[in-house]
Amino acid sequence: MRISGASASHVGQVRSNNQDRALYSSSLGAVADGMGGHVGGEKAAAMAIAELSGVRGVLSSDRLIEVVQAANRRIFEAGMQPSLRGMGTTIVAASFDPVAGVMTLVNVGDSRGYLLRDGDLQQVTIDHSLVEDLIREGQITQDEARVHPQRNIVTRALGITPDVEVDAFALNMKSGDRLLLASDGLSNEVEPEAIAAILLRETDRFAACNRLVEASLEGGGRDNVTVVVIDVYDDQETEEAEVELAATGEHADSVLADIPRPRKRRFPLRATLLLVSVLVVLGGASAATVWYARGGYYADDSNGSVAIFRGRPGGVLWMKPSTEELTDVRVEELDGASQARLEQRPVWSNLEDARDFVRNFETIADTES
């Protein structure tokens, strides 16, 4: 089995800076939601993601927990500085074992992990929050929790104490499963039913990420919002389908050679009208394809510098992305978390959001100071 993922993030409609951070690699995804001031929250989330981005290969449940606990200690120690006192971050992370077909999820705080399987969306992780405790005690309902004035208070986070308890969940995955990791900027603004509908409708993972972020903004956008969508595929099924297609193609060529060519004939009026209608639809589809291919902006490495491109990563059909702006940010000077975020190549709907994404990068010098 294999996985493919994408991520998207937005500062929201109210906040002045984005304290969320995300990560997606070949076997690992994560979302961190920082807290504790303008500087502290960003730094805590970036440190958590940097710790995760520094590991390679398949992580067992115990190993993933160890990495998160190591991030907790680093953030706690950094928080001893007066300017960073009280900083912390939530974390939700997922590591995939392709041989066993097992996805391990860990979480601390109220950033969530969801599983979409056979059309049903299920929250896998359990929030470490005040309202979740009140729900378990029977004092409030789920509906009341969504509008509770203290719904943003977490009872567990990285960096608050020298040691932290990490929840872990093991999921046996199957082809077609979709995993969603999200900060509470999504769950506080978008109902679970709407989240499920978007994940079902938007089969492209990049489009799904962007639509989830848009839904959060439409819901009020009162917080930063960050999502990671991970799709699971079965390599064996893919290989068998490719072999079967190749065999069918060879057989079809030999059969088509024996079929006589049809004689030319005039098209009746009804067929002509149908053909015109089809051409109109195809023309509209072509215009929509061009709009999609050119309607986004993303950042990527361009000869060692960070550049902003217009288009979609890798291009769409014959339409390749074009360089919109070349920044003076050097990729080699970025810290591990910022380099990991750059490699994800999230697509933004406008140029200014892409610029904000680049402005939020941290250099190695920033991290060390």
State pLDDT tens for residues 291-338.
566 778 899 999 999 999 998 887 766 678 889 899 989 999 998 788
pLDDT at 242 over 50: no
Could you say which DSSP state residue 220 is in?
T
Top CATH class of 2-236 equals: alpha beta
Spatial strand order of the sheet with 20-24 comes to 20-24, 28-35, 88-97, 102-108, 167-172
Instruction: Measure the CA–CA gap between 277 and 327, rounded to whole angstroms.
Output: 46
Instruction: Measure the CA–CA gap between 43 and 369, rounded to whole angstroms.
Output: 11
Domain boundaries, the chain: 2-236, 296-368
Instruction: Measure the CA–CA gap between 90 and 144, rounded to whole angstroms.
Output: 23
| pTM of the model as a whole | 0.66
Average pLDDT over residues 215-219: 96
Instruction: Measure the CA–CA gap between 73 and 161, rounded to whole angstroms.
Output: 8
* DSSP-derived pairing of the beta strands 88-97 and 305-310: unpaired
pLDDT at 196 over 70: yes
Residue 289 is encoded by which pair of tokens? 């394809």
Q: Helices in 38-155 by DSSP H: which ranges? A: 38-53, 61-78, 130-136, 142-146
Question: What is the C-alpha radius of gyration for the chain, rounded to an integer number of angstroms?
Answer: 24
